[in-house]
Amino acid sequence: MSPANRLSRLPPWLSHWLGFRSGPLTKRPDYIIWFWSFVGSFLGISLIQAVFGQAHYFIERGVPSIVASYGATAVLIYGAVDAPLAQPRPLFGGHFLGALTGICITKLFHLLPTEERFQSLLWLVGSLSCATSVVVMQVTGTTHPPAGATALLAAVNPDIRDLGWYYLPVVLLTSSLALVVALITNNIQRRYPVFWFQPNPPPVAKPAPATPSSSNGSFEKSAGVTTTSVPV
Q: Output the pTM of the full model.
A: 0.82
Task: Answer positive or negative: Cα dihedral of 211, 213, 215, 216.
Answer: positive
pLDDT digit string, tens, across residues 14-38: 888 888 888 788 888 999 999 999 9
Question: Rounded to whole angstroms, how far apart are CA atoms 46 and 49?
Answer: 5
Banded model confidence at residue 223, pLDDT cuts 50, 70, 90: very low
pLDDT number for residue 208: 65
pLDDT digit string, tens, across residues 130-155: 999 999 999 999 999 999 999 999 99
Q: Where do the structural domains in the chain lie, given as residue ranges?
A: 11-19+27-189
Residue 186 has pLDDT above 50, yes or no: yes
Question: Rounded to whole angstroms, how far apart are CA atoms 105 and 125?
Answer: 7
Element holding 161 (H helix, E strand): helix 158-163
Please tell me the least confidently modeled range out of 104-108, 123-127, 191-195.
191-195
Query: If you write DSSP's letter for every residue of 93-145 in order, what string do you get?
Result: HHHHHHHHHHHHHHHHHTTSS-HHHHHHTHHHHHHHHHHHHHHHHHHHT---T
Question: Rounded to whole angstroms, how far apart are CA atoms 26 and 21?
Answer: 11
DSSP-assigned letter for residue 191 = -
Question: Rounded to whole angstroms, how far apart are CA atoms 4 and 197?
Answer: 11
Question: Rounded to whole angstroms, how far apart are CA atoms 49 and 230?
Answer: 74
Looking at every residue in the chain, the average pLDDT score rounds to 88
Residue 123 has pLDDT above 90, yes or no: yes
Residues 6+ apart with CB under 8 A from 228: 219, 220
Residue 227 has pLDDT above 50, yes or no: no
- Average pLDDT for 43-69: 95
Do residues 46 and 120 make contact, with C-beta atoms less than 8 angstroms apart?
no
